[in-house]
Structure 1
Amino acid sequence: MSTAASSREARLDPSVFDLPVEKMREGYYTDAYFNHVRAALLADGRHPQVLMQVFQRKHAMLGGMDEAIAILRLCSHDWDALTVHALHDGDRIEPWETVMTIEGDYTLFAHLETVYLGVLARRTLISTNTARVLEAAGGKPIIFMPARHDHHRVQTGDGYAAFVAGAMLGAEIGVTSDAQASWWGGRGVGTVPHALIAAYGGDTALAATKFAAWAPEDFHITVLVDFENDSVRTALEVARALGPRLWGVRLDTSNQLVDRSLWQEMGDFDPRGVNERLVRKVRAALDAEGFDQVRIVVSGGFSVEKIEEFELRGVPVDAYGVGSSLIRGENDFTADIVVSDGRTTAKVGRQLRPNARLERVV
């Protein structure tokens, strides 16, 4: 089984995350009021022994826990003086379920709340969104493609959060940059892009041939076929040119365009973008010429809802490329001190919520 699936036995080593330890320890990334609280307590000589409880409010797949633990381990002022219990990356969690508790002198870790909550929020959002897409796809491979839609610094953790979702569901997921794959030792995957096609004067078959001449034998060569907005013709040209070297074709027609193959069929369906009829026409054309082994990958505006519709209708898609929808939404976490110096001190509505699923972090 994958690294993520075996995480019950071993969490990711803290060194993997390449944390800016000194800056985190100084409170550089922390909301100022937490730094002020810590400073005030230290000035008063007060070191309350607390139990901090962390939760969120949705049905979700947990992500970022190993990273959050690494922050506490490396950036608190005395990890050995803290007692931490936590769930694992990939765990399914319920609304209000306690996912982590931190016990010890509050001044040792007060400056880290902003950081570990932010990590949990971001990674859980990605894991949950990816899990929903994988479930909608019914086990078909997913290509995780949001790298171009967000800052490069989020790639490593986001890629791992997506990988965790795939491992938990036993589904194949590819990522598009080496950064996204780095925490589990993978590598980025990709198709023959529009840029290479343009570099060869808009000749998709020629660009694909040149790419295949360069590519290692183990590459799954997949070619975008919408450059001239004539996906059926282009898919056949590429299949003829590459033969058995072609793993798949990727349909990526803009939602503002209608593929040339559909121009005479409009009227009873929405012909824009990558739609059911376009996929079926490409599949039929490939099969008719004996290219039934060539897979069809679709991308461009695919969400959980659109994938569910395709699967319900049995559209012959072999893999989905999903981008910006995987990083949209929110999955906020909250941390509360619920016990202080042995007394219950939770604010109204935030009582202690023990969770037998939590495991001691050593």
Structure 2
Amino acid sequence: MDGSPQAMPPGEPADPAISARTDAYFNRTRAIVQRFGDARVTYAVFLRRPVVSAPRLAVDWLRAVAAQRGTDFDIDVIHPEGTWVGAGDPILTISGSFAQLADLETLYLQKMGPPCVAAHNAYQMCLELPLVSFLAMDARHCAGAEMQEMMAYAAGVGSAAAQKEGAKGFIGNATDATAHWFGAARGYGTMPHALIGYAGSTLRAAEMFHEAFPDEALTVLTDYFGREVTDGLAVCRRFPDLAAAGKLAVRLDTHGGRFLEGLDPAESYAVLERHAPGAIRRYRSETELRHLVGTGVSAAAVWKMREALDEAGFPRVRIVASSGFNVQKCRVMAEAKAPIDVVGTGSFIPDTWSETYATADIIAYDGVPRVKMGREFLLTRKRNGKAGG
């Protein structure tokens, strides 16, 4: 490492790293305030859309910076972690030296907005399928380690909020580094498609995994060769003890360009007519219909796999479903009563990134309320609760 700001790790609270990554006008504001005299200010931090409060990463970072600079910030978390927050309602306030706070806004807003929106998405997904366990598979879609930490934290917060309302929520995630946000020691997962390609068959990949990790539960991807049902049942017959003990699962990850083995449009409708006719007998958008009876991992596909497992004598083999499980897809699956045991998803990552933009405004200078025109609502917004930051 050459000691330059670019070589420093993300989130490092050293001043060179902060000044290199913050907006230039905040750096210049700090210099001006240091020259003409400091003031005590209070910032209000909010988002323009409803979210679930997830402020911990920003608060921890601010405290680390304060300690490094030898100052104190009074951080008042108005909406405690995991609580719902309305659009424009301040999540927290930060009070302290203007000279010490002026250049921090860029970075703490980065750590506030995305987790709050992702937590809201995760919370909604868990509530839509309250009897289903979720596994966070967001890491591969994240732009680096800092985003990975934010998204795992957010899923943990949204899950905990949903669990308070009776949902199973997230049972863990896919990486060791962020497993702590789910109260786990390590990440979960068995095999990617690449292992099946290497093994040459779905069954052989399952055998290899079981030989290498004999004490682990086995979840087998079944779509590699387009034989979800055939290959899934072959694995069940090869490992009847695991199947009977509930330690075997088939994971459906069928590509959106094809139907699950044995399905076509007509059979997809027929499957749902057998199990959830009400789900297809009212108006549906094109997207909802695709989730119900279309290609990929549809509700019909899940029901078809469940039928096959039960008819073959494997009622305890679980079904893991992945591929595009956002809030809307979870809602449609719930309406179709799809027999999913676990959803693997990274789709709590915000889809519209502009919705994640957090905003901070100073609302008081040396104890005198003052805010820019149009943000007067920040001075009168009622507090829904109070917790130490």
Per the shorter chain, which TM-score range?
0.7 to 0.9
Instruction: State the match for 1:71 in structure 2.
Output: 61
> Shift in Å at residue 84 of structure 1?
1.7
Residues 185-264 of structure 1: pairs in structure 2 closer than 5 A: 185-201=184-200, 203-215=201-213, 217=215, 219-245=216-242, 246-263=247-264
Letter in 1 for 2:52: M
TM-score by length of 1: 0.87
1:151 is aligned to: 143
Alpha-carbon distance change, 194 to 81 in structure 1, aligned in 2, over 3 angstroms: closer
Q: Structure 1 CA distance, aligned partners of 2:60 and 2:136?
A: 25
Residue-pair matches, total = 341
Q: Is 2:53 the counterpart of 1:54?
A: no
Equivalent residue for 1:27, pick from 1, 15, 19? 19
- In 1: Cα distance, 2:367 partner to 2:263 partner: 71
Residues 23 and 29, structure 1, Cα contact 8 Å, conserved in 2: no
Helix, strand or coil at the partner of 1:88: coil
Q: 1:193–1:27: structure 2 CA closer, same or farther, 3 Å change rule?
A: same
* 1:154-194 deviations in Å (ceiling 9; x for gaps): 21231122112212222231211112214555311113221
Aligned residue in 1 for 2:28: 36
**Is 1:319 matched with 2:342?**
yes
Matches of residues 274-285 of structure 1 in structure 2 within 5 Å?
A: 274-285=297-308
TM-score, normalising length from structure 2? 0.81
Query: Deviation string for 1:23-47 (max 9, x for gaps)?
Result: 4774222111111111111122x10
8 Å CA contact 2:134–2:344 kept in 1: the answer is yes
Inter-CA distance 47–247: structure 2 relative to 1 (3 Å threshold): same
Counterpart AA for 2:74: T
Equivalent position to 2:309, from 267, 275, 286: 286
Offset at residue 339 of structure 1 (A): 1.0
C-alpha distance in 2 between matches for 1:112 and 1:96: 21
Instruction: Please tell me the residue identity of whatever aligns with 2:169.
Output: E
The Cα of 1:114 is off from its aligned counterpart by 0.8
Q: 2:324 aligns with which of 301, 310, 315?
A: 301
Tell me the CA shift for residue 209 of structure 1: 1.4
CA distance in 2, matches of 1:310, 1:20: 42
Instruction: Look up the SS of the partner of 2:27 in the other structure.
Output: helix
Whole-angstrom distance in 2 between the partners of 1:27 and 1:204: 52
How many percent of aligned residue pairs carry the same amino acid?
Answer: 31
Tell me if structure 1 keeps the 8 A contact 2:350–2:356: no
Structure 1, unpaired ranges of 5+: 1-16
**Deviation readout 1:33-91 (Å, 9 max, x if unpaired):** 111111111122x101111111122221111x121112221213656543221143212
- Measure, in 2, the Cα distance between the counterparts of 1:59 and 1:93: 6
Which amino acid letter does the alignment assign opposite residue 165 of structure 1? G
Q: How does 1:86-97 map to 2 (within 5 A)?
A: 86=77, 87-97=79-89
* Counterparts of 2:148 and 2:265, CA distance in 1: 43
What is the deviation of 1:130?
A: 0.8
Structure 2, unaligned runs of 5 or more: 1-8, 270-288
Match for residue 373 of structure 2 among 345, 348, 351? 348
Moved more, 261-270 or 286-295: 261-270
1:346 maps to amino acid: V
* Aligned residues of 2:119 and 2:348 also touching (Cα < 8 A): no
Taking only aligned residues, the RMSD between alpha carbons, in angstroms, comes to 2.3
Once the two structures are superposed, residues 187-210 of structure 1 have per-residue CA deviations (whole angstroms, 9 ceiling, x without a partner) of: 111132211111111x11111011
| In structure 2, C-alpha distance between the alignment counterparts of 1:92 and 1:337, rounded to whole Å | 23
Find the residue that maps to 1:27 and give its secondary structure. helix
CA distance in 2, matches of 1:356, 1:316: 38
**Counterpart position of 2:279:** none
Counterparts of 1:277 and 1:83 in 2: how far apart (Å)?
Answer: 54
